[in-house]
């Protein structure tokens, strides 16, 4: 089971990252759940200063970028 | 040989990428060079418009300015995008942490230009800076400089007003960020930051986005072009259409009595009008350019522009999460005073 979290206060880029990550995980055929994390305390807990950021299974993968679904496949698999 | 290079990955690929970038740059300059004669030809010979009539003057203005400004914007945004691939907010924070206040203000204002920043992540950035021990005033120097001295504003100023005005804007924008941040630091306003901010334990810095290859840096530059130019071009065009209208129809010196040097009250008024206005630099600068042509004073026009760009209501609302109203009011007040001083200075100098 892969847990995917998209960190961000809800800006336009955060929504795009959520969609890309969802698409990438679906196309990889992963067994996964995905959620948005908008709480600033939770976001800061990962030391993130530029949103959106991606957390997979509790590990911060990157911040401040919106990679394409194709690029995200490499990060998720 | 060429097939070998195209299929190879990693370091062997970047000379090829560099060559295509150089090629694109040559094409860019060639195109830029023929814009003026092409616009003249199109308007006077093809459309048979009289350059001295209202319509002819406006059309020629638009056909020359619109592609020129969009080309400059693309080039500058690409360049800044590549430069920004060297900086992340995490790295900027590491540079600023532990710096003494005055030096910190200067560095924070400078880093505000080259660090990727979006006002939607102003809050995490603010908390990240404070919890790393960066003083409040230094943090503000960064938060003032980052939106005010932006690449879109600089590209448009350079394109429409020339390098002198662009340099003036850059210099005075930095000066306001440094001094306003320093003043906020001296005022000891830490108690007006929401207390939970200081209690927050920010996790260790996330993974540095790693060292990138030149390939990836160029790609980031191109992505910045797609992202920023893709978003602002309609505003630029609308701004230039309005500017072209002013250029063609508004009489010379029309603005002199309202926004000219003689009207002392015009600078504070321009700042006041600018605060609630939230337009991006892209839409406002072409209009401002046309106003200047009709007799508005440079200082007044600069003040108006800075006020629109640097003091934006949406950003204040975002920052309200971490700042108490007294601190927000001080922030607006200090920056507004700085902008007014700059406005008077240029009306007096130029």
Exposure string over B74-85, b if 16+ CB within 10 A, otherwise e: bbbbbebbbbbb
Report the alpha-carbon angle B302-B304-B309, nearest 5.
95
Tell me the three state secondary structure of residue A47: coil
Say if residue A47's pLDDT is above 90.
no
- Per the annotation, the verdict on A69 as an active-site residue is no
Residue B81 included in any domain: yes
Q: What pLDDT score was predicted for residue B280?
A: 67
Q: What pLDDT score was predicted for residue B333?
A: 92
CA–CA min distance B220, chain A (Å): 10
Residues B269, B274, B276, B277, CA torsion sign: positive
**Chain A interface, best mutation among B91, B124, B134, by max A CB count within 10 A:** B124
Of residues B117, B120, B204, nearest to A47 (C-beta): B204
Q: What pLDDT score was predicted for residue B13?
A: 57
Which domain, by its residues, includes B29? 1-204+215-350
Q: Specify the residue for token string 């021990």.
A: B133
Q: What pLDDT score was predicted for residue B136?
A: 93
Report pLDDT digits (tens) over A16-39. Answer: 899 999 999 988 888 889 999 888
* Joined tokens for residue B27: 């094409």
Report pLDDT digits (tens) over B282-304. Answer: 777 887 888 787 778 888 888 88
Residue B210 included in any domain: no
ipTM score of the complex? 0.79
Q: What pLDDT score was predicted for residue B330?
A: 93
Report pLDDT digits (tens) over B86-117. Answer: 888 888 888 898 888 899 999 999 999 888 88
Report pLDDT digits (tens) over B221-256. Answer: 888 898 888 888 888 888 888 888 887 777 777 766
Q: What pLDDT score was predicted for residue B6?
A: 39
Residue B260 included in any domain: yes
Beta carbons of A53 and B205 less than 8 Å apart: no
Q: Which residues of chain B have pLDDT under 50?
A: 1-10
Residue B200 included in any domain: yes
Q: What pLDDT score was predicted for residue A9?
A: 79
Looking at the structure of chain B, the number of domains it has is 1
Give B328 or A50, the one with higher predicted confidence. B328
Residues from chain A contacting residue B116 (CB–CB below 8 Å): 50, 64
Report the alpha-carbon angle A11-B173-B262, nearest 5.
120
Residue B209 included in any domain: no
Domain range A2-66, its CATH number among 3.40.30.10, 2.60.40.1660, 3.30.565.10, 3.90.850.10? 3.40.30.10
Q: Cα torsion at B95, B96, B101, B105 (round to 10°)?
A: 100
Residue B234 included in any domain: yes
């Amino acid at each position: 089971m892969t847990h995917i979290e998209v960190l961000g206060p809800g800006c336009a880029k955060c929504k795009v990252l959520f969609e890309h990550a969802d698409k990438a995980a679906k196309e990889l055929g992963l067994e996964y759940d995905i959620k948005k994390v908008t709480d600033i305390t939770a976001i800061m807990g990962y030391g993130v200063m530029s949103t959106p950021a991606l957390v997979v299974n509790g590990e911060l993968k990157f911040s401040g970028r919106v990679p394409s679904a194709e690029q995200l496949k490499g990060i998720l698999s | 040989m060429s097939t070998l290079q195209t299929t190879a990955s990693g370091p062997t690929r970047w000379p090829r990428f560099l060559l295509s970038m150089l090629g694109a740059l040559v094409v860019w300059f060639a195109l830029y060079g023929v814009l003026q004669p092409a616009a003249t030809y199109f308007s006077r010979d093809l459309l048979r418009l009289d350059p001295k009539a209202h319509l002819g003057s406006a059309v020629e203005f638009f056909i020359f300015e619109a592609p020129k400004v969009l080309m400059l914007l693309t080039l500058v945004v690409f360049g800044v995008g590549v430069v920004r691939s060297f900086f992340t907010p995490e790295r900027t924070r590491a540079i600023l942490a532990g710096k003494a206040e005055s030096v910190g203000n200067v560095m924070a204002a400078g880093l505000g230009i080259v660090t990727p920043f979006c006002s939607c992540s102003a809050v995490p950035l603010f908390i990240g800076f404070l919890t790393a021990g960066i003083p409040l005033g230094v943090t503000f120097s960064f938060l003032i400089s980052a939106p005010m001295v932006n690449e879109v504003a600089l590209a448009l100023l350079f394109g429409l007003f020339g390098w002198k005005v662009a340099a003036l804007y850059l210099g005075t924008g930095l000066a306001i960020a440094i001094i306003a941040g320093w003043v906020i630091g001296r005022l000891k306003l830490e108690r007006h930051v929401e207390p939970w901010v200081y209690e927050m334990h920010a996790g260790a810095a996330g993974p540095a986005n790693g060292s990138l290859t030149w390939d990836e840096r160029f790609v980031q530059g191109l992505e910045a072009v797609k992202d920023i130019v893709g978003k602002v071009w309609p505003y630029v065009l609308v701004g230039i259409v309005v500017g072209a209208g002013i250029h063609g129809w508004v009489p010379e010196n029309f603005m002199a009595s309202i926004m000219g040097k003689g009207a002392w009250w015009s600078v504070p008024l321009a700042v006041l009008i600018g605060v609630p206005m939230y337009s991006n630099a892209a839409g406002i600068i072409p209009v401002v350019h046309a106003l200047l042509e009709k007799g508005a004073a440079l200082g007044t026009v600069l003040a108006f522009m800075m006020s629109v760009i640097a003091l934006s209501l949406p950003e204040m609302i975002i920052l309200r999460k971490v700042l108490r109203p007294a601190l927000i009011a001080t922030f607006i007040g200090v920056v507004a005073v700085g902008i007014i001083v700059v406005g008077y200075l240029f009306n007096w100098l130029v």
